[in-house]
Structure 1
Amino acid sequence: MGCCCRGVSLLTLVVTLLLSGCGQFGYYWQAGKGQWSVLSSRQPIDSLLSADSTDEILKLKLQHVQQFRQFAEQQLLLESGGSYRHFVALDDDYVVWNVYAAKPLSVESYQWCYPLLGCMGYRGYFQKSSAIAYAEQLAEEGLEVHVGGVTAYSTLGWFNDPVLSSFLGENTLDLAALLFHELAHRKIYVRGDTAFNESFATAVAHLGIAQWLATDRVAQQDPAAFQHWQRQQARASAFIELLLEAREELSAIYCSGRTVDGKLQAKDKAYLKLQTRYRQYAEQWHYRGYDAWMADINNAQLATVGDYNLWLKSFEALYRQNPGDWQLFYQGVQQLAELPRKERVIELELLKSR
């Protein structure tokens, strides 16, 4: 399908969003304009691979993309459709900047509701300055905020998502995990449940990488890179566990019968404790890569960590019931997705405890 047809499809979607947006014209306009800019800059990967002028490093990474996409389709039963068959060179390391927020006495993500998509725990902007300006507005309203750059996103099958240059800064296995994660969003998506959607996609990425590694392809080709990735993953898992424990502690404080002042005092102590534990973590792992992120850690950041990892263990437990059978796994996830939200949470909690 040519660009003109895609332009019409995009325009139709944007008009729908604008008519449903209740005064959010500016936000949806920038979203539509940004999406169109991405789609209109696509180059076919096959053409780039056959062109003598294409940089050899880029060719190698695009070949990896093709391998991972085929593996996702054939082994993980994910459907790519026409996605990840084109490449877009961006002018920045990130394609979108997301704004995250939380109330001063909550580690639950502030929700924004969108036509067609439901409510989500973030608001995305194609211009960093716009994201920062909106975050500052929310901060003035009393919310705790965080702005984070995003290297990839899924349009959930509305469009054929391209490979972005922001993907390719990742090492080989991180690139695979990113593709598996984004393709999982096309497989199953629950309107208005960010934690379910992101935890599911994160689980698919983790489980998919484990299955990829079982082939020993990476270990045989580059054992040093494989060992580096293993250490990186162990380090990241330890860091996320640290944050999830702090999130649970703060959630208990915020839900307690303390006075507001009592909660705020306990909150300060909990964050001081987190910083102390983080320093111990950094010394143990000899790694300071999270220092900037931890410098002004707040509820919005912990809420985000929860959204992407809250039900990770639940989905991994569901997969272990029939390891290697992706069809049964997806059937189980779909059954959870169809439950009313409260019942879904109960089932996810039960899975997590197994």
Structure 2
Amino acid sequence: MLAVVATALALAGCASPPTGVGYYWQSVTGHLALMRAARPVDDWIADARTSEALRQQLTTARRIRAFASAQLALPDNASYHRYADLKRRAAVYNVVAAPEFSLTLQTWCFPVVGCVGYRGYYDETQAQAFAASLPGDLEVAVYPVPAYSTLGWMNWAGGDPLLNTFIGYPEGELARLVFHELAHQVLYVQDDTAFNESFATAVERLGGQRWLAQAGEAARGDYERFDGRRRALRALTLGTRERLQALYADTQLDTTTRRQRKAEVMAEFRRAYATLQQTWGGYNGYDAWVRQANNASFGAQAAYDQWVPAFEALFEAQGRDFARFYDAVRALAEQPKTERNATLQALLPAPGPTLAASGH
């Protein structure tokens, strides 16, 4: 039972630490229900009741799983050889919180996985209830998480399964998600969410590029449309985060002025998104996130990409060899956090010229 508690609270995109018996119980029962729902992928493919669309996606997922170990040196174990339909839209629902004038997330701590900036629930109603219970001076967000990793701790019991919450993704995105979650089984550093998530995100991007290079033209086209929208949103949110951080760091502003300027930044963000969204041919998948965006939302997003360029630079320095790259990252993880961050900072590419400086 203790092993199940630990794995249910592991992470990836991911899960979080408890503060009472009720939280332990929902974590244990939620994870056990997920494991019980899983059956071998081959059984689903052979089942006459399986829809053709699901059968094709599972067949693709089986190829992706083999590629992950053969081409990306990711763990060759029991994970992602089974599939479960959870009958809901997310594996877990994460709660994040941040102060009114900061993008730094509230953290919760657990002795196994350490301190993380989110708290996960298998039931959305419970997540919303916890969010509502947080102090009123915090900005809070609840978001669905399609998958989480048990860091390999549950491979003895069948491993992490493929889920209905992400099996329908475009081929390239499905590959990236599997690579991301398996990367958490390569390495996990306690008390460093930005390191863990940036590493896994770098692996998913690098691995995704290799997968798409050998995929069909249709898969590349589907992914390019999917990822093009995401890249555009990321660029917009990055600019907004930078404006907010500069605003919050300005000690010359009084609270009223800072609050007013923050409202102006957020209003401009939503106007810019509305203009961007009009170019997407009716796609509205990000509308809810943008409508509810706040410091907590931006803070959670930052954890996933803060060090990605540094890890990509390290990958290049290791000759684009995944096994050597993982060894270099493990060595980096052995450093104290301050030294580790300094090393990552040094690996970050120099910022490019501004539009004005470049003459465009």
TM-score by length of 2: 0.87
Partner of 2:175: 176
Instruction: Please list the CA deviations of residues 216-243 of structure 1 after superposition, one character each: whole Å capped at 9, or x if unmatched.
Output: x322xxx3x4223113212211211211
Asked if the contact 2:194–2:307 (Cα under 8 Å) also holds between the matched residues in 1, the reply is yes
Q: Given the alignment of the two structures, is residue 103 of structure 1 paired with residue 120 of structure 2, yes or no?
A: no
What is the CA deviation profile of residues 110-154 of structure 1, one whole-angstrom value per residue up to 9, with x for unaligned ones? 11111200111111001110000011111x432101111111110
Partner of 2:64: 68
Which residue does 2:203 correspond to in 1? 204
Aligned residue for 1:156, secondary structure, equals coil
Give the alignment of 1:239-278 within 5 angstroms: 239-257=233-251, 258-278=253-273
RMSD value, Cα:
2.2
How far has the Cα of 1:8 moved from its partner? 8.0
- In structure 1, stretches of 5+ residues that fail to align are 1-6, 15-20
Paired letter, 2:138: L
How far, CA to CA, are the matches of 1:50 and 1:249 in structure 2? 53
Instruction: Report the secondary structure of 1:158's partner residue.
Output: coil
Per the TM alignment, residue 9 of structure 1 is displaced from its structure 2 partner at its CA by: 4.5
Report the Cα offset of residue 78 of structure 1.
0.5
Q: Does 1:213 align with 2:209?
A: no
Given candidates 136, 141, 145, the residue that maps to 2:140 is 145
> 2:5–2:24: 8 Å Cα contact kept in structure 1?
no
CA deviation string 1:205-226 (max 9, x = no partner)? 11101111222x322xxx3x42
Picking from 314, 333, 337, the partner of 1:337 is 333
1:326–1:29 CA distance, 2 compared to 1 (3 A): same
Choose which of 263, 266, 286 in structure 2 pairs with 1:290: 286
Evaluate the alpha carbon distance shift between residue 230 and residue 188 of structure 1 in structure 2; reply closer, same or farther with a 3 A threshold.
same
Paired position in structure 2 for 1:189 = 188
Q: Distance in 2 between matches of 1:182 and 1:226?
A: 22
Query: Following TM superposition, by how much is the alpha carbon of 1:92 offset from its aligned partner in structure 2, in angstroms?
Result: 0.9
Contact between 1:94 and 1:151, CA under 8 Å: does it hold in 2?
yes
Shift of 1:323: 4.3
Distance 1:75 1:136, change over 3 A: same
Separation in 2, partners of 1:311, 1:227? 28
Q: Give the partner amino acid of 1:144.
A: E
Q: Which amino acid aligns with 2:325?
A: F
- Cα pair distance change 1:280/1:336, threshold 3 Å: farther
Q: Which residue of 2 aligns with 1:231?
A: 225
Deviation at 1:352, TM superposition (A): 1.7
Asked if 2 retains the 8 angstrom alpha-carbon contact of 1:87 and 1:162, the reply is: yes
After the TM superposition, list the runs of 4 or more consecutive aligned residues in structure 1 that deviate by more than 6 angstroms.
Answer: 11-14
**Equivalence for 1:166:** 165
CA contact under 8 A between 1:199 and 1:309: conserved in structure 2? yes
Cα deviation for residue 265 of structure 1 reads 2.4
Gaps of 5+ in 2: 9-16, 351-360
The yes-or-no answer on 1:50 pairing with 2:46 is: yes
- Equivalenced residue count is 337
Instruction: Indicate if the aligned counterparts of 2:91 and 2:146 stay in contact, CA closer than 8 A.
Output: yes
Contact 2:98 2:138 in 1 (8 A): yes
Matched-pair identity in %: 38
8 Å CA contact 1:80–1:183 kept in 2: the answer is: no
- TM-score using structure 1 length: 0.88
Q: Encode CA deviations 1:141-177: one digit per residue, 9 max, x unaligned.
A: 3210111111111011111111112121212211111
Pairing 1:127–2:123 present = yes
- Contact preservation (8 Å) 2:172, 2:212: no
Counterparts of 1:243 and 1:115, CA distance in 2: 33
SS in 2 for 1:100: strand
